[in-house]
Structure 1
Amino acid sequence: MSALDDAGLRTVHMVASVLLGYPDERLYEARPLLSKSVETLPFGEVRARLAAFLRHVESTPRRELEAHYVATFDLKRRCCPYLTYYTYGDTRRRGAALLRFRHAVRAAGFDLSGEELPDHLAVVCELSARGAAGPAMRLLREHRAGLEVLTRALREEGSPYADVVAAVQATLPPARPWERETALRLAAEGPPAEEVGLEPYSIAGGDR
């Protein structure tokens, strides 16, 4: 990909944070600004992927886009947008992992709106875009195997959201061998199950 400076990184994550959220008024009101922001990026994979998704939004009826979002992210476990899910599944250990995300959000002075969990990919991207790129990038790197699994699942589903997640992936340093191996293992085995006798830590947004 073409090299991104700090401003370019924040731009990519700002655009991705909006595109990865539910396609409500925020997305449709922001489309002109999002398109202009993408045009400021250097030519390369990231710009091309984000531009492709914005064209998809432009050409797709809103109800169809809303239905696709729900069918993809709310009804398919393999397309879960919550990063800790891939490593910890619906287990109690996930609660401790979520605390790291919550602390990063609070340390940056941000409050989560509604009931969204802090490990949602859109939330982490917004954290970066709003000035906390360091903590956000650390969290993304730590969970890059989950990002890889999510991208592969979206591609297999034929979802245009694969372009957005892949654009976020492209902002990270190249994956190391053990990170690629972890991604392959997660893709093959799926997230861990809760140990017998323990209540799972449920993810938000329904049964994935």
Structure 2
Amino acid sequence: MTDRRVAYRSAALLLAYPDERLVERLPLIRAALEEQAAGRGRAAQREPYTHLLSSMEVVEQTPVDVLARRYVEVFDLDRKHPLYLSYFTDGDTRRRGEVLAGFKQTYRDSGLVVDTHGELPDYLPMVLELAAHDPERGLALLERYRPSVELLRLALEQAAEKDEAASTPMPWVHVLRGVCATYDGPGPQDRAAAMAMAGPPTETVGLDSYDPRLLPLSESGGAR
């Protein structure tokens, strides 16, 4: 992975709950992405920014209240699209607790002041913020949890196919494509290939991976 801090910072903002603060930042996000895209010679180097700019187009053309309702439907009410990276890989509650503690320690070690807003520390937008602030530590987490990121991309792509027919906004699929484009090598084309990237399962005690009880859901729809 090359230095793509602008991509990670932009992706973090675009994956957060859409509100007026995001609307105010859109011109700055677009300007930064366009500058980065223009400065990349090869198409592969521009790909993350191209996907993120595609997300921007949807966000800019959709009223923020419509986006907010859709965000809740996609990420809070549909358990197929968790933004929590260890949800995909560590279904055992005991092990997942240890993993989440590791995320917290990584934030401390980086010196990044994180306001979780009630989210778990494996919340993808926070990990992307870390990658923008401390590339070494942030990219290590993104690489370790690449299977989770790819699985989320695949799930959103499947949902986007249905949304396209219903003319429902789904800007977040472009964000995940942009994040996945920062990885070295081709991404998996289906769920089985993405799960194979994670390797053999670790010892599990308690709840299995993908058990819906492991996914934290806030009453109001996450960090708002």
2-side partners of 1:176 and 1:57: how far apart?
Answer: 25
What is residue 130 of structure 2 aligned with on the other side?
127
Paired residue total: 193
Gaps of 5+ in 1: 187-191
Shift of 1:205: 2.6
> After TM superposition, where is structure 1 displaced by more than 4 Å over at least 4 residues in a row?
none
Does residue 204 of the first structure (1) align with residue 206 of the second (2)? no
1:169 to 167, 177, 180: 180
Percent identity of the aligned residues?
A: 35
What is residue 153 of structure 2 aligned with on the other side?
151
CA contact (8 A) 2:93 2:206 kept: yes
2:28 to 22, 30, 33: 33
2-side partners of 1:184 and 1:37: how far apart?
Answer: 34
Change (3 A) 1:176 1:25: closer
Gaps of 5+ in 2: 161-169, 198-202
CA contact (8 A) 1:46 1:170 kept: yes
Change (3 A) 1:103 1:50: same
CA contact (8 A) 1:18 1:122 kept: yes
TM-score (norm 2): 0.77
1-side partners of 2:118 and 2:65: how far apart?
Answer: 23
Q: Specify the SS of the correspondent of 1:111.
A: coil
Shift of 1:91: 2.1
Shift of 1:5: 4.6
Q: Give the alignment of 1:177-196 within 5 angstroms.
A: 183-184=194-195, 195=206
Does residue 47 of the first structure (1) align with residue 49 of the second (2)? yes
Question: What does the per-residue CA deviation read over 1:147-203, in whole Å, with 9 as the maximum and x for residues that have no partner?
Answer: 1110010011113311101111111222699xx8662459xxxxx98627xxx9844
2-side partners of 1:77 and 1:16: how far apart?
Answer: 21
CA contact (8 A) 2:95 2:204 kept: no
2-side partners of 1:157 and 1:92: how far apart?
Answer: 31
Does residue 118 of the first structure (1) align with residue 130 of the second (2)? no
Q: Give the alignment of 1:11-90 within 5 angstroms.
A: 11-41=6-36, 42=40, 44-89=46-91
2-side partners of 1:17 and 1:176: how far apart?
Answer: 20
TM-score (norm 1): 0.82
Q: Specify the SS of the correspondent of 2:147.
A: helix
Given residue 129 of structure 2, which amino acid in structure 1 is its aligned partner?
A: E
What is residue 189 of structure 1 aligned with on the other side?
none
Change (3 A) 1:201 1:77: closer
CA contact (8 A) 2:34 2:49 kept: yes
What is residue 141 of structure 2 aligned with on the other side?
139
